[in-house]
Amino acid sequence: MTGWGTDVLGDEFEQRTLQLGDDDQGEVVATIVRALPDAVPEPPTGWAKLRRRLKGLPLKDEPPMLDGVDVLYVHGWSDYFFHKRLARFWTTRGARFFALDLRKYGRSLREGQTPGYVADLVTYDEDISAALAAMAEDADTSRGPRRLVLLGHSTGGLVLSLWAARHPDVADALVLNSPWLEFQLAPLRAAIAPVIGLQARLRPLDSAPQIDLGFYARAQAEVAVEDDPIETNPLWRPVPSMSVHAGWLHAILDGHRRVSEGLDIPAPVCVLLSTHSALPTRWSEELTRADTVLVVDDIARSALRLGPSVTVERIDGALHDVFLSRQDARDESYARMERWVAGWVATLPRYAAPGA
């Protein structure tokens, strides 16, 4: 692993390259991005403590809500991490925020590689393990073990759900933003899977026809906030989206099958979803207030198979990425997430105050 350096997002963001060896397309890396909270205030000492006693004030400042919490974010298909606003939701509440650009995505894509390609989602265990190791290096555990929140969007939500099921004692909570838990043609998945599986064995890099007409990207642009623009790298988040290959689709369908069988994740899960879907076959205003990627009712049903404690939050007017929605739906998405996170924190043993 290399050291931390300046990230393309600038401001408070840093990045670090995680070496993962080589495959048949050359060097493989993942990239972790971090944003750290302001320091937790120290308790007053000496004259400051005496003045607080005389004024009837508490002797120490209350630590922020998410003091002692680490967040690991994983992006979706044909995507990478660029959400400054989302990171600051967590860091302003005291958490350390980390985002992972998986191998062959975004910051981790190298020349000559097939963008986003893996033949098995278990491969990402290496990326996540390397990220957690980097996060642990300078983690402050002097006041007790830190809490880990997994935060995943779309395909990243599927990847993290499967990972949490295979590693049941690591994550303390999952927050999933429109996780891709079921194929868009759910009733046909069992019939399609063997055909895709055969193609994956014979010609894994065969591409499926491109069906992205660019309407999802247009919808995000239509609802963007003028004084808070979101800028993305078109090489890392192309329009239309990256090509879908048979080997990768086979891995996705296998992940959907595993979800349908039940994952039994012990940690509590919050799933954020739009209230309805819309087919992006032609442009209309409806596409700015709906999920045009997934069948959200199917995702809501599949979410209940993740584990024994699942909360499904449906947001009216939300896009596929609920945090890129029109402002009213986006604000509601953050409000729902904050309410759920506050409830989760309230159930945890108190994290020791500084100097305790």
Residue type, 180: W
Show the beta-strand stretches assigned E in the chain. Answer: 5-6, 14-23, 26-35, 69-74, 96-101, 147-153, 173-177, 269-274, 310-315
Spatial strand order in the sheet of 69-74: 5-6, 14-23, 26-35, 96-101, 69-74, 147-153, 173-177, 269-274, 310-315
Which structure tokens are listed for 351? 């994290």
Mean pLDDT by 10 residues, the chain (356 residues): 90 97 96 84 49 52 87 98 96 97 98 97 98 96 93 98 97 98 88 90 91 93 83 94 96 97 98 97 96 97 98 98 97 98 90 51
The pLDDT score that the predictor gives to residue 356 is 45
Centre a 10 Å sphere on the Cβ of residue 210 and count the other Cβ atoms it contains. Answer: 11
Cα–Cα distance measured from residue 119 to residue 200, given in angstroms and rounded to the nearest whole number: 8
- Domains observed in the chain: 5-346 (3.40.50.1820)
The pLDDT score that the predictor gives to residue 40 is 46
The pLDDT score that the predictor gives to residue 58 is 52
The pLDDT score that the predictor gives to residue 208 is 86
The pLDDT score that the predictor gives to residue 225 is 83
Beta pairing partners, 285:
none
Q: What is the pTM of this model?
A: 0.92
Strands 14-23 and 69-74: unpaired
The pLDDT score that the predictor gives to residue 352 is 55
Q: Which helix (H) or strand (E) holds 162?
A: helix 155-166
